[in-house]
Copies of this chain bind each other. A is one copy, B any other.
Amino acid sequence: MARRPVLEFWYEFASTYSYLAAMRIERVAEEAGVEVRWRPFLLGPIFAAQGWNTSPFNLFPAKGRYMWRDMEREGARHGLSVKRPHPFPQNSLVATRVALVGDDHAWGPTFTKAVYRVEFGEGRSIEEPAAVQAILVKLGLDAEAILKMAQAEPNKMRLRAVTEEARSRGVFGAPTFFTEDGEMFWGNDRLEQAVTWAAGERPTSAA
Binding site for B on A (CB under 8 A): 50, 60, 62-63, 65-66, 69-70, 73-74, 76-80, 170-173, 184-187, 189-190, 193, 202-207
Which residue from chain B places its CB closest to the CB of A167 in the assembled complex? Answer: B62
Hey, which chain B residues are within 8 Å of A170, CB to CB?
Answer: 62, 65-66
> In the assembly, what is the distance between CA of A62 and CA of B49, in Å?
12
Nearest chain B CB to A196's CB is how many angstroms away?
10
Q: Are B173 and A206 in contact (CB under 8 A)?
A: no
Hey, which chain B residues are within 8 Å of A70, CB to CB?
Answer: 185-186, 190
> In the assembly, what is the distance between CA of A8 and CA of B66, in Å?
17
Which residue from chain B places its CB closest to the CB of A203 in the assembled complex? Answer: B77
Q: Are A78 and B172 in contact (CB under 8 A)?
A: no
Closest 3 CB pairs of A and B: A79-B207, A77-B203, A79-B205
Hey, which chain B residues are within 8 Å of A78, CB to CB?
Answer: 205-207
Hey, which chain B residues are within 8 Å of A76, CB to CB?
Answer: 202-205
Hey, which chain B residues are within 8 Å of A206, CB to CB?
Answer: 77-79
**Residue of B69, B77, B184, B189 touching A189 (CB-CB under 8 A):** B189
Hey, which chain B residues are within 8 Å of A173, CB to CB?
Answer: 63
Hey, which chain B residues are within 8 Å of A205, CB to CB?
Answer: 76-79
Hey, which chain B residues are within 8 Å of A73, CB to CB?
Answer: 193, 203
Hey, which chain B residues are within 8 Å of A74, CB to CB?
Answer: 203
Task: Offer 17 A-B interface pairs, CB within 8 angstroms, sorted by A.
Answer: A60-B172, A62-B171, A62-B172, A63-B173, A66-B170, A66-B186, A70-B185, A70-B186, A70-B190, A73-B203, A74-B203, A76-B203, A77-B203, A77-B205, A77-B206, A187-B189, A189-B189
* 6 further A-B pairs in the complex, CB-CB below 8 A; given A66-B186, A80-B207: A62-B172, A65-B170, A69-B184, A76-B203, A77-B204, A77-B205
